[in-house]
Amino acid sequence: MIHVAAGSAALAAGFLVLFRQKGTVAHKRLGTTFFCLALVVCATAAIGTIFFRFLPAFAVLSLLVPYQLMGGLRAARMQGRGPALIDGVVLLAAFVIALPLSMEVLLRAGRLTAVDYSAVAALWLVLLYDAAKWAFPRRWHGSIWRFEHTYKMTASVFAMLSALVGNVVRVGQPWSQLLPSAMGLVVIAYFFLRLARAKHQAPALPGRMDA
């Protein structure tokens, strides 16, 4: 009951965050609410995975979603200052968990679906990006933090939606469970285009004002 209630509330808060004006007090409060509820969902999912039934995709999502949430929150708080010691500690801990977890999942090759492979790929994409980020020139972080925050938070919302579909919808599996992930990529691309457009328009604003 806790898992279902927290999951439903987290998805509602998550979609409100996505489609409300960004940077406002309401956006930040809803984001914090989503973050806390999603952590409850992931904690209960992890307990279920460890003690009751191991489902590969859900096991990976139990690590991926809280890691992305933490990374998205950190990106917004650091705002271009780059990774700090705590980020390195969290990344190292995630690697330590992700490696045996991924091996456990991938060794079940005969029983895996496209959802399982995509979950593992998404996890390692984020981990390798965060590892590479330590080598980025400092000036890059001021340009990419909004994109990172957008990707990680949006991907977390749609990963939770994918998990819901996987639990509830029995028709068209595993493709019906992949649909939310595909939708999430479209939404992320839309937000990225908006961010890129705003970034290119910002330097032109003083010129327009002078004119």
Per-residue pLDDT tens digits for 63-76:
999 999 999 999 99
Q: Rounded to whole angstroms, how far apart are CA atoms 42 and 31?
A: 16
Per-residue model confidence (pLDDT) at position 177: 85
Per-residue model confidence (pLDDT) at position 109: 67
Q: Is residue 22 part of a domain?
A: no
Residues sharing a CB contact under 8 Å with residue 142, sequence separation 6 or more, in sequence order: 79, 80
Residues sharing a CB contact under 8 Å with residue 113, sequence separation 6 or more, in sequence order: 57, 173, 174
Q: Is residue 95 part of a domain?
A: yes
Q: Is residue 2 part of a domain?
A: no
Q: Is residue 21 part of a domain?
A: no
Q: Is residue 177 part of a domain?
A: yes
Q: 62: domain range? A: 54-200
Q: Is residue 160 part of a domain?
A: yes
Per-residue model confidence (pLDDT) at position 203: 56
Residue 24 clears pLDDT 70, i.e. is over it:
yes
Q: Is residue 15 part of a domain?
A: no
Which of 31-45, 95-109, 180-194, 197-211 has the lowest average pLDDT?
A: 197-211
Q: Model's pTM, two decimal places?
A: 0.87
The domain tally of the chain equals 1
Percent residues over pLDDT 90 in the chain:
48
Question: Which of 10-19, 170-179, 202-211 is modeled with the greatest confidence?
Answer: 10-19
Q: Is residue 116 part of a domain?
A: yes
Angle at 168 between CA 11 and CA 46, to 5 degrees: 65
Which of 32-36, 87-91, 92-96, 207-211 has the lowest average pLDDT?
A: 207-211
